[in-house]
Structure 1
C-alpha cells in the first residue's frame, strides 16, 4: 500500500499518516481493530502474569486505542500498574503511573500527558512498553528477525529505550502497527541509533 520509494523520512511519515487516516475510515477497520485488541488480550493472559508495570500511550492521529485491555489487566491484580509517557525538555521520556480518570495535560506536540508534579503518581520503570508505529520494517540476520519502528521523528523513544534497557535487560518493547505499514529498504531503513522492537503486533499476530 505504501509507495514512497526514495523520498525523505519526513514526506514518508506524512504519507503514512495520511494513509492511516484513510485506513481507519474504512468499513473493515473495526474488525481489524478487534483482532489486534484480542491479540493484546491473549498476550496479557499468557505473559502478563509476570509483568508488574506496563507503559502504554494516549492515542492520537488514528493510532490504535489499547487502553481497554490494559485497564482490564491492571484491575485484575492490585499490584499491577500502568504508566503514560511524559516528554521531558531533553527529549527523553519519563513514565508516570496512570489511572483511569486522572487529569492529563497536552504536550507541545498535542499529546495528553501525566502531570509530572503529582506526588500520588510516581515515575515507574515499566517491564513492558507498547509503542505505536507510523511505519515498521523487519530484517533478518543470522537466522534472527529484528523489527524496527518508524516513529514521528523526535527520537524520544530511542533515547529512552536505550537507557531503560541498561537498567532492565528483560524489558519488553512491543510495537503496534498494521500489515500495510511495512517498509522495505528502498523506502526506509533503521539507523544505528534506532532501538529495535522486541515484538511487533499487527493484524497478522504477534511477531517476535
Structure 2
C-alpha cells in the first residue's frame, strides 16, 4: 500500500494532478478526452436521455461545455448535478447553465434541492471524475475501479441506483497517468465498479 495508506496516495495523486494541469501536456490530453466523450455520446445517444455530471474541483477535467452542447443540440436531453445528503448518498437534480449553485460542506458547488423548477433525476449515465483508477481482469473481461476522495458517496449511490436501473452507465473520467497497479491500490469489497473508463487514450469499457 502506498505510504501505508490510501490517504497519502490520494494526496500524492492530487499534487500530481495540480502539476499536470499546469503542464504543456494537459491541453492535448484534455482535447483527446473531450473528443472521446463526444464519440461516447454519439454512440450511446439512443439509450442515454439524462446524464449526471459534476462541477470540477481540484483540477478535475471540466466536461460541462461538452455536455451543455450535447443537451442544447438534442431535444429532450437532461443534465443533472449531484447533491450530497447527510447519510452520504447522492441525489441528482436537473441542471441548466447559469443555475445558482450552493457550496457543500466539502466546497463542491451543488444544486438547490428545494428549487421547484429543477426536479430530482435518476440518470441513465453518470460521469465520475477519478483521483486514481485501476483495472482488474477476470478471464477475458476487464473491470475498472475508481479511487475517489474517500467519502464513499458514489459507491453507496451506485449500489442503490443499479438495483433500480440495471442499465445505468457509470463512466470514470481521468488521465492515463492516474492508473494504479495492485502494489499501489486495490479495490475493496465495498467499491462499486465502473462500466467504462475514459482517458486520453480512449474509452475502455467492460463489455
TM range (shorter): over 0.9
Q: Is structure 2 residue 141 aligned with structure 1 residue 144?
A: yes
Q: Is structure 2 residue 16 aligned with structure 1 residue 14?
A: no
CA RMSD of aligned residues (A): 1.0
Quick check: 2:2–2:8 contact (8 Å CA) kept in 1? no
1:6 is displaced (CA, Å) by 4.9
Which residue does 2:87 correspond to in 1? 90
Query: Of the candidates 130, 135, 139, which is equivalent to residue 132 of structure 2?
Result: 135
Q: TM-score, normalised by structure 2?
A: 0.97
Distance in 1, Cα, partners of 2:188 & 2:3: 16
Which residue does 1:184 correspond to in 2? 181
Distance in 2, Cα, partners of 1:61 & 1:70: 20
Residue pairs, 1:134-173, within 5 angstroms: 134-173=131-170
Which residue does 2:72 correspond to in 1? 75
Quick check: 1:133–1:176 contact (8 Å CA) kept in 2? yes
Extract unaligned runs of 5+ from structure 1.
none
Q: Is structure 2 residue 110 aligned with structure 1 residue 113?
A: yes
Q: Is structure 2 residue 194 aligned with structure 1 residue 193?
A: no
Quick check: 1:7–1:187 contact (8 Å CA) kept in 2? no
Distance in 2, Cα, partners of 1:174 & 1:90: 24
| 1:22-78, Cα deviation, whole Å (9 max, x unpaired) | 011101211110111111011111212321110000000000000111111111223
- Counting matched residue pairs gives 205
Distance in 2, Cα, partners of 1:52 & 1:99: 15
Extract unaligned runs of 5+ from structure 2.
none
Q: TM-score, normalised by structure 1?
A: 0.96
Distance in 1, Cα, partners of 2:97 & 2:173: 21
| 1:68-104, Cα deviation, whole Å (9 max, x unpaired) | 1111111122311000000000000000000001000
Which residue does 1:34 correspond to in 2? 31
Runs of 4+ residues over 6 Å off in structure 1: none
